[in-house]
Amino acid sequence: MSVELPFAPVDTIIRRNAGNLRVSAGAAEELARRIQDHGADLAIDAAEEATADGRKTLMSGDFGVEQVVDKESLELPVAPVDRIARLRIDDSYRVAMDARIALADILEDYADNVARAAAVLARHADRRTVKAEDIDTYFELFG
């Protein structure tokens, strides 16, 4: 499976959480992959919610979001997030714009949490660079 999410916004998210640490390209790539997997899993759950309500359109409420943020406030682009939402659900589902923005917001919060922890792990290892192994270690510890 290819990664739909561009690495540049993911790199930006890691950097805003890493302080003065550098960020390896591998860290951005690994986090992008993890974000994609998480987003696809969330979309499966959202599709089940929509189906239970007799709909074929995913709405923000299906992701547990009541108030949708302004998409301009997000680092993650909405178009790739839309593709992520569709990775593991039936092609007959539609994803409403508010659902795309809600999912992007959820995934950005997720990425912030992982990036913050990965920076702590890099510092703990006495390194000046956040690496893919820090992302992997986070998931080994907190899964």
Neighbours of 93 (CB within 10 A): 17
What is the C-alpha to C-alpha distance for residues 58 and 84, in angstroms, rounded to an integer?
13
Confidence at 129, pLDDT banded by 50, 70, 90: very high
Whether the Cβ atoms of residue 94 and residue 8 lie closer than 8 Å to each other: no
Per-residue pLDDT, 3: 79
Confidence at 1, pLDDT banded by 50, 70, 90: low
Per-residue pLDDT, 143: 81
Cα of 54 vs its chain's centroid, Å: 27
Per-residue pLDDT tens over the stretch 48-82: 999 999 999 999 999 999 999 999 999 999 999 99
Spatial neighbors of 96 by CB under 8 A, at least 6 apart, are 57, 58, 59, 60
Whether the Cβ atoms of residue 125 and residue 88 lie closer than 8 Å to each other: no
pTM for the whole thing? 0.96
Per-residue pLDDT, 126: 98
Domains in the chain with CATH codes: 7-142 (1.10.20.10)
